[in-house]
Amino acid sequence: MDQGIRDLVDRARKHDSEAFGKLYDMFFNRIYSYVYYKVGDTTEAEDLTEQVFVKALEAIDKFEWKGVPFSSWLFRIASNVVIDYYRTRSRVTMVPVEDFAVELGETESSEEAAIKKLSQEKLYIAISRLTEEQQQVIILKFLTNLSNAEIANTLGKTAGAVKALQHRALRTLHKILKGAGDEG
């Protein structure tokens, strides 16, 4: 475990707002990415990410080191915030393609940008066809760069179960994307 994170968490537990601010800065982008790919709306993702950190701040003094990384604790809070978000809504939101697309780089042609946008749309649609657990694993692994151990802690599963879910999800994604390619 990173001793710097441990020190910051221990200071934050003692109501050191500067330490919590540093944790916020360290983890904001990863938490935001996770939330965004779960809800598909930038404004909602920003609001929900802020809720995650408010809940973390409110509960930080109860956090205990039990062999679980701090990041797993944050992602568990994020997962619960997203679940609560969907409980209060009766519909599932799809990411608008224009929000999902990576911005044009200065060296990218409009043709390259169109291909990238189409590829991202296909990937999002393919991920949305996975089971909820498979979506969680793919998003946590490849979009927020968590290790299998961190994912296991976040989801309350074993590392072996995460690896198996990841394997099935990637196999299913391959089939979905291959099928989508055959249609076009």
Would residue 48 be called left, alpha or beta, if left means φ above 0 and alpha means ψ between -120 and 50 degrees? Answer: alpha
Tokens of 180: 């989508």
Domains and CATH numbers, the chain: 3-87 (1.10.1740.10), 105-183 (1.10.10.10)
Question: Does residue 97 contact residue 121 with C-beta atoms inside 8 Å?
Answer: yes
Per-residue pLDDT of the chain (184 residues; tens, 9 = 90+): 577 889 999 999 998 889 999 999 999 999 998 898 888 788 899 999 999 999 999 999 888 888 778 888 999 999 899 988 888 775 444 444 444 444 444 455 667 766 666 666 677 777 888 888 888 888 888 877 788 888 888 888 888 888 888 888 888 888 887 776 554 4
How buried is 89 (Cβ within 10 angstroms: 0-12 exposed, 13-18 middle, 19+ buried)? exposed
